[in-house]
Amino acid sequence: MSYQSLLLALMAERVHPDDSSPESGQFSGNFSSGEFPRKPAPPPATYVIKVPKDQIYYVPPPEREHLIQRLSRKKVNRSRFRCCLCSFLATIFIVIVLAGISLATLYLVFRPESSKYSVEGFSVSGINLTSSSPISPKFNVTVKSRNGNGKIGIYYEKGSTVDVYYNDVDLCNGALPTFYQPAMNVTVIKTALTGSRIQLTSAMRKEMRDELSKKTMPFKLKIKAPVKIKVGSVKTWTITVKVNCDVTVDKLTAPSSIVSGKCSHDVDIW
């Protein structure tokens, strides 16, 4: 037997092929010992990674990033607006509460009471009921104001109005003088009222003649005066005093006497 045949026979006896032929470049065993390595397992194709839900963040695509930023800015602006609105409402509420407490304290300390008004004089002239011509009446009115407050003064400001009505007809008008009425004071106010070319209907003339024959000529006096209250050294805002008086006189010539008179008043704080 030749040398080559002997070598092939020895290799055939010592080499045992694996069940699966190795791929090229995958050998890691000892080739000289005739051992062939097994084929390595391929890497898995998929992976499962578990991440907690609170750690998952959404990343918008670049083309929508500006929209997300704009929406985020709107949310921030709305939050700031709500905070400012809540602060403003809270401030207004606190101011109202403090003002209420202050007014209640002033009331308990000073115990304010409204002034009392009465008509002391009511002289009439210039009303001719025998002619159908327009009349130009004149009234001289005397009003007494009593301020019974011990620590409160009253400023009577400009802008007052005084009117005398018969039924719904405004016969004349005028104004009160401006003055200051101190605490615990009685002030007598005189004012002259005039009317010009007032046309009376025949029915109204007849009605007034009937009242005059009974010496019960009724009139209505309306006073509207802006005032300011002085408490200590502090003056309040302008308050409107409204006085309504029902006055009945005995005749339409001077001097005339008051048969009856009753006054009521109201106050507009604001």
- Total residues belonging to the chain: 270
Kindly report the pTM of this predicted structure: 0.64
Q: Decide which of 31 and 176 is more confident.
A: 176
pLDDT band, residue 150 (cuts 50/70/90): confident
pLDDT band, residue 72 (cuts 50/70/90): low
**Cα 96 to the center of its chain, rounded Å:** 11
Nearest C-alpha neighbor of 41 from the set 59, 60, 68, 20: 20
Report yes or no: 90 and 187 within 8 Å, Cβ to Cβ.
no
pLDDT tens-place string over residues 10-41: 455 544 444 444 444 444 445 455 555 565 65
Nearest C-alpha neighbor of 40 from the set 56, 28, 52, 54: 28
In this model, does residue 200 exceed pLDDT 90?
yes
How distant, in Å, are the alpha carbons of 17, 97, 153, 186 from that of 110?
Answer: 121, 20, 11, 19
Nearest C-alpha neighbor of 137 from the set 161, 175, 170, 176: 170
**Average confidence (pLDDT) over 217-225:** 97
Q: What is the mean pLDDT of the chain?
A: 81
| Architecture, CATH, for domain 116-268 | Sandwich (2.60)
Alpha helix positions (H), the chain? 3-14, 65-110, 202-213
Residues of the chain with CATH 2.60.40: 116-268
